Amino acid sequence: MQADLYDALNANTRATGQWGKGKAPKIPPFPRPQSKTKPTTKAPKRPTTVKAIYQHFSRR
């Protein structure tokens, strides 16, 4: 969230500044953390049936 706020402020600063033509400063983007693990692909879940829901709630 901080990175997005930082980038928005930079874009606003560049857009509203009194720079000469083509001389707006280049402000580097905020570094974003990288994921250490690779995303895993899971098999899609099967849709729950009405029968399974009824059995789940009717147990005693």
Distance CA(12)–CA(24), nearest Å, equals 12
Please give the average per-residue pLDDT across 2-9, as a whole number: 81
pTM above 0.85, yes or no: no
pLDDT band at 60 (very low <50, low <70, confident <90, very high): low
DSSP readout, 4-26? Answer: HHHHHHHHHHHHHS-PPTT----
pLDDT at 51: 92
pLDDT digits (tens, 9 = 90+) for 16-52: 777 777 777 777 777 777 778 877 778 888 889 999 9
